[in-house]
Structures are given as structure tokens and as C-alpha cells.
């Protein structure tokens, strides 16, 4: 089943209306800008999966750099053929955006073969760290490498970055996100099912012949993202990764068959009012969700959606506080109407008095 067929089927099962269904798939005609809540930050290149940070009072966004390709959409994500990174910079929300030069190319990573997907960044003691997933040079049943997570460093937040010769030991799959708590300890969250291959690590080692989607156990607890505290060097893990468990209101793990709630990819952690917010994408149902806990490891209690489906298949995000407000960075396909050519956007995020997040509709009715 292709993504298009799967989307149509899921929309019917999930009760998503026709308008939302239309927003999930590529359109044949140019999109009307008035349909969208927010407009692209840049139009000179295609960008997605934005990891935003405030460094020295400036906003830096570390996105995927989408590139045109003739590869058809599939469940392995082969159409997402990104091979380098370029950093976006702005003085404040709404200010002009500078697109940096190539910060890192896959050809500069000794262990990697292709597909540099969603990155993240961190800063410590004068050094900027770029964390990135890429396929290594092994071959699985589909002739593709396994996704591992690497790290590269620079003295400039826009790069260029120099990659370490090997991936980070103990980290695997995709979508690294690094959160530094008030006590200075940093944690890496990572993982993604389907093309991200998290389901192939269920026993602690990679199965090159494993499932292409999930564990195919809808009645069992869903696969979870991973979390591990990092060493002070910010380039290695201090412990074996743990499950970032998401519980329902009754304290039971979210099940694999609950596609509107379960983790798919795109972990992002932030802290507000003493509460830890673990946010993530549901992938094939196209929501951004959040769950809350009392520590960086969880378990986290599911709270709901905070972004409804965008135009396009993927939804991946980051959340920062700057200028006295909270902001959500995300992406859709407004400029291209193609799932693999996306554009980064930003909109304000609002909280209720009890700490819950107000749901955002990215499309204007």
C-alpha cells in the first residue's frame, strides 16, 4: 500500500474529514497562500524538520534541506533524498532570514552513505554541536543502510561543521533531539518507526530483515522513542538508552494500534513551569502530540494534539521560548505541493492556565 492509499484509508478510520484529507496529500495546482495560517520562512531552498534554538540572542534553525528527486513516495522514505544541511538565522521572529552556506554534506561524513534527515543542535563551552541521522554503508533487505546518529562540531553556529569519524555509540534510528535541563545535564531523544527503522531494534540489535513499518502488534504497547543522558563531552551517551514511555489517562501504555496517539517520530523536549513536555509526531495520522512528565525520562502522560494535519505527509517540529512568547516551528508543502519538498514555518504557541497547549489548525477555514 502506498502512502497515498494509506492516507485515504486512515482518514476514513480516524474520522478525519475531506478537507483534512485534502491537506494530507500533494495537490496538482499551486497552493493559495491565504489557505495557510503561516507563510514559509524562506523560499530560495526547500526546508523541513526545523530544530530551532536561541544562541547568543539570535534564532538559529537547523532544518533538513529537501532536494528535488524523481524517486516516488514510498513507506521507506526513499523520496526524502536530502544530502546536506544549511542553517537559517534571524534576529527575532518576523525578521529577515539568512540562509547559510552548506554546513555539512554527507560526503564529509566517513561512515555515512546517504539521506541526511532531521538534525538538531546544541551549544556548550564555545562549541556548537550538530546531531544528525544518516544511513551507514551496510545493506539491509531493501539494499539500504541502517540509520545511525552522528555528531559534528563547529565554533560557528552556522558551520561549517566537522563530523566525527564514527556515529555515536548506542544511538540509532533517526531524529535526534538534545535537551539541556536547568542543572546542566543534557539528554538525547531519538527514534522513529517505518523508514526510521526503530522497529528493527526491538531486541537491542539491528535486524536487517525486520519489518518496514512497525511491530505489527496493534494490541501491545507501542514502540517508544528513546532517551539517554549525554556525557559532558556532548558527543557520547552516558548510559544505555531508555524507553520514553507514553501512558494514557489510566496509566496504561499507549497501544501500537492507536495511531492518533502513539509515537511515530520527531521527539522534542522542552520544560515549562517545572513540567517536562515530550512532544512528537504520529506520522501516518499526521498530528503533533504532547505528553507531560515530572522528569526528563518520563513516563509521560498523553495530553492531546497541539497541531492538526498540515498539507503534506510529514509533520516535524521544534518549540522554543523567545521574546517573552513560545513559538512552534513546523513545515508543510505550500511551495511545492510535493511531499518531499517542504518549507519551514513558525507560529505562536499558546498555553492554557493549567499548562495544556491550545490546538493549532495550520489551515485557514
The residue from 49, 73, 214, 332 that is catalytic is 49
Give the SS3 label for residue 265.
strand
What is the pairing mode between strands 300-307 and 246-247?
Answer: parallel
Q: Among candidates 160, 178, 156, 145, which has minimal Cα distance to 78? A: 145
Query: In this structure, are strands 246-247 and 177-180 parallel, antiparallel, or unpaired?
Result: unpaired
**Residue 68, C-beta contacts closer than 8 angstroms, at least 6 positions apart:** 341
Which pLDDT score, from 0 to 100, does residue 16 have?
39
- In terms of Cα–Cα distance, which of 141, 226, 164, 222 is closest to 190? 226
Residues 6+ apart with CB under 8 A from 22: none
pLDDT tens across the length of the chain (365 residues): 345 434 444 343 333 333 333 334 444 455 789 999 999 999 999 999 999 999 999 999 999 999 999 999 999 999 999 999 999 999 999 999 999 999 999 999 999 999 999 999 999 999 999 999 999 999 999 999 999 999 999 999 999 999 999 999 999 999 999 999 999 999 999 999 999 999 999 999 999 999 999 999 999 999 999 999 999 999 999 999 999 999 999 999 999 999 999 999 999 999 999 999 999 999 999 999 999 999 999 999 999 999 999 999 999 999 999 999 999 999 999 999 999 999 999 999 999 999 999 999 999 98
Pick from 250, 301, 285: nearest CA to 20: 285
Residue of 66, 265, 284, 332 marked catalytic: 265
Q: Classify burial at 354, counting beta carbons within 10 Å of its beta carbon; exposed 0-12, middle 13-18, buried 19 or more.
A: exposed
Is 218 known to be catalytic? no
* 49 catalytic per annotation: yes
Q: Choose among 323, 348, 265, 282: nearest CA to 49.
A: 265
The pLDDT, as a whole number, for residue 173 is: 98
> What pLDDT score does 22 carry?
34
Amino acid at each position: 500500500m502506498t502512502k497515498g492509499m494509506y492516507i485515504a484509508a486512515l482518514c476514513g478510520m480516524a474520522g478525519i474529514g475531506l478537507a483534512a484529507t485534502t491537506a494530507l496529500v500533494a495537490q496538482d495546482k499551486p497552493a493559495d497562500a491565504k489557505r495557510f495560517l503561516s507563510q514559509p520562512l524562506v523560499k530560495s531552498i526547500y526546508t523541513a524538520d526545523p530544530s530551532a534554538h536561541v544562541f547568543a540572542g539570535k534564532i538559529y534553525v537547523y532544518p533538513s534541506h529537501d532536494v528535488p528527486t524523481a524517486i516516488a513516495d514510498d513507506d521507506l522514505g526513499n523520496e526524502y533524498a536530502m544530502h546536506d544541511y544549511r542553517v537559517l538565522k534571524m534576529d527575532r521572529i518576523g525578521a529577515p532570514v539568512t540562509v547559510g552556506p552548506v554546513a555539512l554534506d554527507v560526503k564529509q561524513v566517513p561512515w555515512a552513505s546517504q539521506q541526511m534527515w532531521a538534525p538538531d543542535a546544541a551549544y556548550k563551552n564555545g562549541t556548537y554541536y550538530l546531531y544528525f541521522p544518516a544511513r551507514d554503508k551496510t545493506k539491509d533487505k531493501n539494499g539500504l543502510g541502517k540509520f545511525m546518529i552522528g555528531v559534528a562540531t563547529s565554533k560557528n553556529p552556522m558551520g561549517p561543521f566537522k563530523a566525527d569519524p564514527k556515529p555515536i555509540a548506542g544511538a540509532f534510528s533517526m531524529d535526534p533531539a538534545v535537551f539541556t535541563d536547568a542543572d546542566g545535564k543534557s539528554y538525547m531523544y531519538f527514534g522513529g518507526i517505518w523508514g526510521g527503522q526503530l522497529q528493527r531494534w526491538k531486541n537491542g540489535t539491528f535486524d536487517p530483515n525486520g519489518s518496514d513499518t512497525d511491530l505489527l502488534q496493534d494490541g501491545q504497547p507501542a514502540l517508544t522513542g528513546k532517551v539517554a543522558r549525554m556525557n559532558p563531552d556532548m558527543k557520547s551517551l552516558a548510559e544505555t538508552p531508555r524507553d520514553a514511555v507514553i501512558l494514557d489517562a489510566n496509566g496504561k501504555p499507549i497501544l501500537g494500534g492507536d495511531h492518533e496517539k502513539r509515537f511515530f517520530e520527531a521527539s522534542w523536549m522542552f520544560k515549562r513551569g517545572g513540567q517536562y513536555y515530550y512532544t512528537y509526531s504520529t506520522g501516518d495520522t499526521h498530528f503533533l502530540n504532547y505528553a507531560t512528565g515530572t522528569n526528563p525520562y518520563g513516563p509521560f502522560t498523553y495530553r492531546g494534539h497541539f497541531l492538526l494535519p498540515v498539507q503534506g505527509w510529514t509533520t516535524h517540529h521544534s518549540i522554543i521560548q523567545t521574546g517573552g512568547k513560545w513559538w512552534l516551528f513546523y513545515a508543510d508543502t505550500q511551495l511545492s505541493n510535493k511531499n518531499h519538498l517542504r518549507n519551514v514555518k513558525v507560529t505562536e504557541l499558546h498555553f492554557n492556565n493549567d499548562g495544556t497547549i491550545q490546538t493549532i489548525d495550520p489551515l485557514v477555514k
